[in-house]
Structure formats: structure tokens, C-alpha cells
Chains A and B, each alone.
Chain A
Amino acid sequence: MTGLDPRPAPRAPAPVPSPRVLARRRRRRALGRFARSYAHNRAGMAGLVSLLLIATAALTAPLFIDQAHLTVTGAPGQAYEPPSPEYPLGTDNFGRSVLDLIIWGARVSLAVGLLATVVSVSLGTLIGVTAGHFGSSGGTGGRITSTVLMRITDWFLVLPTLVLAVALAAVLPGGTGTIIAAIGLTVWPPTARLVRAQTLAVEARPYVERARALGGGHTHVMLWHVLPNVMPVVLAQTTLLVATSIIAESTLAFLGMGDPTTISWGGILEAARTAGAVSAGIWWYMVPPGLAIAVVALSFTLCGRALESVINPRLRENS
């Protein structure tokens, strides 16, 4: 791995107040520190602000977009109207406002990106933590489990991602769920490797050994000691994966694997392409969805990198 060092280990608890209160205070302080150093990262802030704006627009879209105007039969304009005050980004082949479609499409694209990431991060974390934990403290059986899990992960790493996603999207029944599954099931291996490495580092710390000595079972150790300490790394990885997933969604749509009846950025792009918008010079149909994908993917990447640098102080100087 790239050398993502764990955060400095928390200091041993002082004896006076109750440990629980202390822990909470410590966490709050850590969070404050975290937020402050994140705020210092200008690129990260820019990404965060742009994401917040886009998310707000997507969530409140039903308030200012008439859904009837997004239907095929209720389209307000003529086909392929160029940008005008009424339709700032022109209209599509049905006469729907492209701007409305982009804003509405953000809902699906973001949902696909986030859900696919949830699938892959959960899978990756589960496998990574299990492999790491049992690898370091599970006896012979545990080591075998760990080895098998990591071999499977390595094997998935060699599968061509795009080809596998396409095959999965084709095998599963059509629809947005399939796209989420196809992306989620193909991009998890790097997360698993990362989490495993982090788990190994955490397991080596004294307080985990202490918890084990005090009779903490595997589940207890994994849930209460390993997982919270792995989370920061996972969080950074998650934000980076959302970017990948959103690009993947548009790629699958381009390869004809998407659901053309759902309004998503990839879907709009594909519709524009099949309509021949590129060669017909209907740029307002083709350019905005691609830019939207790029901006959101970039924002997520910036956030993810900022998180990484906050978590890993060695990278902090490169804000």
C-alpha cells in the first residue's frame, strides 16, 4: 500500500473521570482537530462545497422541477432547441429541458455512485477486517481463512474490471439495481487489501492485545477496536470510490448496459450519443452531462484526497 500510516495511537487513559466520558471527550477533540485540519485543505474544501451544492440541488429538485415536464409526453419544448433563457441548456430529443434532466439525473447518478460504493466498501471492509484480524490472531484455522480470503481478493484484482462489470450487468436482470451491483461487486478488492493492511497495524497495538487478554471475543475486538480505527481510512477510500462508481455508471451506459428509461447522467449521455448529437452539433445535449460527471467525480476525488492527507500527517504538507 502507499504507506497510509495509522493515526498516532491514543494516549493511555488517565485514571480520574469515568473512561466512557473520557473516551467521548477524546473523540470530540479528535473530531475537532480533524475538521480543523480538513478546513485547511483548500482543494478539499472546494470539493466539499461543490458536492454540498450539487447534493442540495439534487435533493430539492422536486421543489423546483415540474416532474410532468420530465415525462416524454409532457415535454414542454420542441426537440433540440438550442439554449435560450427559457431552457438554459436547450432541450433534448423529446423537448425536455436538458438543465432539468441534468439536475434530476444527479439524483440517480449520485444514488448509484453512493450505493455502489456502499456495496463495495462494505464488502471490502468485511473481507479486509476478517482477513486481517484472523490472520494476526486466529490460530491456524484463522490464518487459513485469512489466506483464502486474500487469495480470492487477489484473484478478483486480476479480473479486468470493466469486462467483469459488463458481464455482471448483462447477467443480472436489467435496472438500476443491477448497475449498482455490477459496479459494487467489481471495485471492492483494493478496499479489502487496504483495510487488511490497516487492520494488521491496529491489531499490533497494545490496547487491542489488552482487550484480547481481558477475554474479548473475535467479534468484540473486530467491532469495537479494529473497526473504529480502520474507519478513517475506509472513509477516504469511500470518497474516492464514489468518483470511480459514477464514471463507471456512465461507462456502462455507453456500452449499452444501462437502463435507458432512467434519467441518469450516463443515460443522458448515451441518449445524446444514440441521437447522433455529436455529429449533429447539438453540443448542449452532449457536453453538460459529461461535464457534470467530471465535476462530481473531481469533487469526490478532492474530498477523498483531503481526507487522506488529514489522516496521514506525512502527506499533510501537500495541501
Chain B
Amino acid sequence: MTPASPRNQLLYGTLDLLILRTLVYGPAHGHAIAGHIQRVSEDALRIETGSLYPALHRLEARGWIAAKWKTSDKGKRARYYRLTRTGRRQLVVEQSRWQQLSVAVTRVLRPAD
């Protein structure tokens, strides 16, 4: 089967950054991560599950986040993801890359400044 094209409108790789950043505040399950991003971005970014779970598992395979089954506050078993040490380092890298990109895009948009 052909690899799926990114389902969201996010720039490729941005989702990873958002997930890593979210997990800085502590372990969270997938639903909570999606909710957090949506809330913090004031509904501007809606993370589709078709992208979220592949991304989580991909980050886990890379060793940037780790997963553990825990009972959620509502009493159900949920898979909690936490940031690993390499993940933290990766977050710094990703963040600076994003900032560079963002600065660059801004320059392009306002060249006369």
C-alpha cells in the first residue's frame, strides 16, 4: 500500500514538535495530547487521529518518547507517553529548527522591512 500523505494541513514534521512540546508538561495519553494542542492553539490546530497515533508510535520507535500503561484519572487503562532524555534533546533541535524556519518565512513575507 502506498504510504499515506499527511492528513492534516500541518507542515511535515511539525506534529512531532508539537507532541514533544506537549509532553514537557508530563506524561499524557494520546487523547489528552490531541486535546491539549487543540486547546492551546485555541482550536486552530485540530490533530487528526489518523496522524496522531502513527506519529506517536513513530516517535516511540525512535526512542524520543516512551509509553507505559497507567490507569487514567477516570479509572480506565490508558497508554501514557512521556518524554525520554533523547526526546528532550530532540525537542531542542526541533524547536530551533522551527524557529529558523519561522524567521525565514517571516522574512520572505515581509522583505521590505
Q: Do A and B bind each other?
A: no
